[in-house]
Amino acid sequence: MVLPTLAIVGRPNVGKSTIFNRMIGERVSIVEDTPGVTRDRIYAKAEWLGRQFALIDTGGIDIGDEPFLQQISDQAEIAIDEADVILFLTSVEAGVTDADERVAQILYKADKPVVLAVNKVDNPERRNDIYDFYSLGFGEPYPLSGSHGIGLGDVLDAVFAAFPDEGQDTEDDSIKFSFIGRPNVGKSSLVNAILGEERVIVSPIEGTTRDAIDTKFEHGGQEFTMIDTAGIRKRGKVYESTEKYAVMRALRAIDRSDVVLVVLDAETGIREQDKKVAGYAHEAGRGIIIVVNKWDTLKEKDNHTIQEFEQHVRDEFQYLDYAPIVFVSAKTHQRLTNLPAMIQTVSENQNRRIQSAVLNDVLLDALAVTPTPTINGKRLRIYYMTQVAVKPPTFVVFVNDPDLLHFSYERFLINQLRKTFDFEGTPIHLIARKRK
């Protein structure tokens, strides 16, 4: 399910990063009493009263001659595009400023729900000063103290009241997949090439909870939904012009996908951004296929080129050792016909269920091959294993002490599962619980 998204927007130096850090409970944003410190949008997941939401911190919206101000303004407007609700943050210290009014003008055009908060109301005497902010035209201003956390609950209650209702996604049996990766690796070309190759396009449908355009098509009797990440919407060129603009779009696509195709550029090689985006998909438990695009651009290829590049990918993406790698060309359509079948296979592996009796036979064999370790004179005992979920396949092992299940032995058990069953393309989650 796609998480509702909140963007924190305001002029520089009103405390956006402090509020962002309060909401997620960590110091992720740089907090400094200097305007313009937060130059990039920063994304995180947060939770309020058991409900998760996505959170975007932005640079302050301002237009001027100082370095970065135009870029900061552009990024904040992109964050507004992506958000379901906007938290318009002001500061009681300066009152209503010209910059606040400029931000308000931008938010009027956005046509999104806006919650107005007045920060730095650190004592009761200042509460009377918040009423001036009614003039901004967004209704009741909520007093807030980022440094002390006072008033944050009331603000979040108002935010959640403005979020769209859950459960708007319509159920269907199609396999949902997306191409993700840094800009200019050829995502748009792959989308166009696959649709041209398949030819049996069911319909371009507008996302029920988002305004990205999804495309349904059929291959071998299986229906697929391709989720757009390639900048078809407004600001498409801005999104794709630099790597940091692509992250939010990739995260949205990952949330909605069953299988994620991580696209690499054979010509320019692997960059740090590739690892970052792929890491989001891995942590989300999605099925993953690594797609090396532009394979046709490598001129001096021999029988060993694929093996050498594949080893390079494995070295750089060690946590994705389960993901198949395919070398394609959107330009020449090389190996593109293989992708739908691979996506279907990975989706089936994501949904694979194993009977408990069979699982415990595998567990007994594993324990016989490699006995459990002893830590501080205490031996780990594993009594039973059962599968509790799919997408991704999730297993619980009942043990005498969960702290004794070291990462290395957990890895060994997961590898035994992979050797016995076909889980190619999907992460496996293993949870240790103490037997009652």
Binding site feature residues? 10-17, 57-61, 119-122, 181-188, 228-232, 293-296
Residue 8's beta-bridge partner residues? 57, 87
Show Cβ contacts of residue 394 under 8 Å, excluding neighbours closer than 6 positions.
Answer: 387, 388, 428, 429, 430, 431
User: Following DSSP, what letter does each residue of 304-367 receive, concatenated?
Assistant: THHHHHHHHHHHHTGGGTTS-EEE-BTTTTBTGGGHHHHHHHHHHHHT----HHHHHHHHHHHH
* Rounded distance between C-alpha atoms, residue 350 and residue 422, angstroms: 10
Tell me if 6 sits within 8 A of 159, measured CB to CB.
yes
Asked, as a colleague might, if the bond just before 324 is cis with ω within 30 of 0, I would say no
Cα 175 from chain centre = 18
Sequence ranges of the binding site for GTP: 10-17, 57-61, 119-122, 181-188, 228-232, 293-296
Starting at the earlier edge strand, list the strands of the sheet with 201-206.
Answer: 201-206, 213-219, 222-227, 175-180, 259-265, 287-293, 325-327
User: Following DSSP, what letter does each residue of 349-383 receive, concatenated?
Assistant: HHT----HHHHHHHHHHHHHHSPPPEETTEE--EE
Cα 127 from chain centre = 38
CA dihedral over 327, 328, 334, 340, signed as positive or negative:
positive
Tell me if 347 sits within 8 A of 260, measured CB to CB.
no
Of residues 125, 161, 146, 158, the one with CA closest to residue 57: 146
* Rounded distance between C-alpha atoms, residue 152 and residue 301, angstroms: 59
Alpha helices in 122-186 (DSSP H): 152-162
Q: In degrees, to the nearest 5, what angle opens at C-alpha 339 toward C-alphas 334 and 342?
A: 140
